[in-house]
Structure 1
């Protein structure tokens, strides 16, 4: 039983970050962060200060988003999980309007306190679709220009007619399930490593919003708002599926721990360039 509970700690919404609710094994588990601090909402106390006289954020950027959440299993202390996404972004600005087009360069978890670690395979990251989103870089009372990108939904492991509203599939036989990483298993595959090893096949949905400022001509910082949900379609070994109901994830109460950073980079830079510079690029 203890092994099952420890395994359940890592059945997390690995594309999004936030709060969770227990559900029956194999059903959808929702996580998210609503309320203040997302795009359009009031700013948290840790909001960065805008640099003056920056009016244009066009160009090529390296983007890193970090979502912090807590995971709780019965009888065990909660632990932190950070979910990190790194993208290569091309951005254009027309007046106050901006367009953001990004390609995933990296996507991984940081869970040093976990006994069983969730690992996002390269095949998962490579199967993530490019993202395109719209927003504004416009004057905001008391904050200088404010960088805001509206809500973007991303769905993996399933094809939904309405990505924002349709229920996620809960069974491999559902016609909407897509073997997106093309590994012969339903949905997208996550790996568990540590005290228990195994594979978890999931469909996931998340939305994100960005709210920040340009702190320099070559750097944008701000808060990541999000919500996510995950459906476990199947597992290997099968006993892992039943254990998913034993854990609960919820937002880190310190909302300043969920953030994004964008750094301007050369126009000819690619993901390999970002990877080589990643150790110091976002510091």
Structure 2
């Protein structure tokens, strides 16, 4: 079951593209750049009950000549926990607004799913996702909107259950009574609460820093890899065992993302099924399974 919501800020560049009506009427199919991601099968995709139409194809279309608009970011992040690979599959709705050579991004984290570690399933409640604090620290850059153009995102800084004056460099407090620890999910426990298995809850503070780098493989699609660091401090738990938070090691070579335009501009797929002018998390989650195929975790990736 997938979940909902939140926000962030980042950036990218504006490149004007003028295409005549005559060319559009008789245009050949746009060449797609090389990508390590398999093309998605869009027929009978199992979203008929949402009212979502997939006729246009995810990532297809000639492009809008600007990145301004609504994009869906699907991130498959690999980390190593106790020499076991843990995959995190996260879905964001990203609103982009260009300003010269940069773009401001406003993000909503709609869903995060984590693979099992040593037979234990970690669950992140919706209320936690809804109360993550995203901090803007810089902007991103794009070399060109043409196929092959390079995209480098702003730095994504996410604070979970923390209020830090220096979000990227300040040490995470280890005591639950520290005033920098906040009960952001409002459950009466310090930090945020993760469900570990069926009867175990861990209270923790967490900082996640991620940067995305990719290239346009189509005018409405970017594929690439991410670089990320996650710092976690356990602040307690419903049982002693639950209060243990093993280190999370980055495994960037096995992480990847795909970002696609979903507002109908530039011939892209339009995920706004209710026509209110915005793509909600519910609408995005109906499309997310079509954006990129998930892979299964492989512990060999953490033993290289």
Q: TM-score, normalised by structure 1?
A: 0.70
Residue number in structure 2 paired with 1:79: 84
> Which structure has the greater CA radius of gyration?
2
After superposing on structure 2, the runs of 4+ consecutive aligned residues of structure 1 that deviate more than 6 Å are none
Whole-angstrom CA distance in 1 between matches of 2:179 and 2:200? 25
Please tell me whether the aligned partners of residues 91 and 285 of structure 2 are also in contact (alpha carbons under 8 angstroms).
no
Q: Evaluate the alpha carbon distance shift between residue 216 and residue 144 of structure 1 in structure 2; reply closer, same or farther with a 3 A threshold.
A: closer
- 1:238 positional shift: 2.7
Whole-angstrom CA distance in 1 between matches of 2:84 and 2:195? 19
Residue number in structure 2 paired with 1:234: 236
| SS of residue paired to 1:102 | strand
Structure 2 portions without partners, runs of 5+: 1-34, 38-59, 264-276, 294-304
Residue number in structure 1 paired with 2:287: 277
- 1:68 positional shift: 0.4
- 1:47 positional shift: 7.2
Whole-angstrom CA distance in 2 between matches of 1:240 and 1:150? 34
1:257 pairs, out of 254, 257, 260, with 254
Residue number in structure 1 paired with 2:49: none
Q: Evaluate the alpha carbon distance shift between residue 165 and residue 256 of structure 1 in structure 2; reply closer, same or farther with a 3 A threshold.
A: closer
1:101 pairs, out of 102, 106, 120, with 106
- 1:115 positional shift: 1.1
Residue number in structure 1 paired with 2:115: 110
Residue number in structure 2 paired with 1:217: 219
Please tell me whether the aligned partners of residues 72 and 260 of structure 2 are also in contact (alpha carbons under 8 angstroms).
yes
Whole-angstrom CA distance in 1 between matches of 2:176 and 2:185? 15
Whole-angstrom CA distance in 1 between matches of 2:89 and 2:261? 19
Whole-angstrom CA distance in 2 between matches of 1:248 and 1:203? 13
- 1:131 positional shift: 6.1
| Structure 1 residue 120 corresponds to structure 2 residue 117 | no
Whole-angstrom CA distance in 2 between matches of 1:131 and 1:178? 16
Q: TM-score, normalised by structure 2?
A: 0.65
Please tell me whether the aligned partners of residues 101 and 131 of structure 1 are also in contact (alpha carbons under 8 angstroms).
no
1:206 pairs, out of 205, 208, 215, with 208
Residue number in structure 2 paired with 1:167: 171
- 1:211 positional shift: 0.8
Specify which structure has the bigger relative contact order, considering alpha-carbon pairs within 8 angstroms and separated by 6 or more residues: 1
Structure 1 portions without partners, runs of 5+: 1-45, 73-77
Please tell me whether the aligned partners of residues 98 and 134 of structure 1 are also in contact (alpha carbons under 8 angstroms).
yes
Whole-angstrom CA distance in 2 between matches of 1:248 and 1:262? 29
Of stretches 164-173 and 263-272 in structure 1, the one that deviates more from structure 2 is 263-272
Whole-angstrom CA distance in 2 between matches of 1:130 and 1:139? 27
Whole-angstrom CA distance in 2 between matches of 1:249 and 1:101? 27
| SS of residue paired to 1:210 | strand
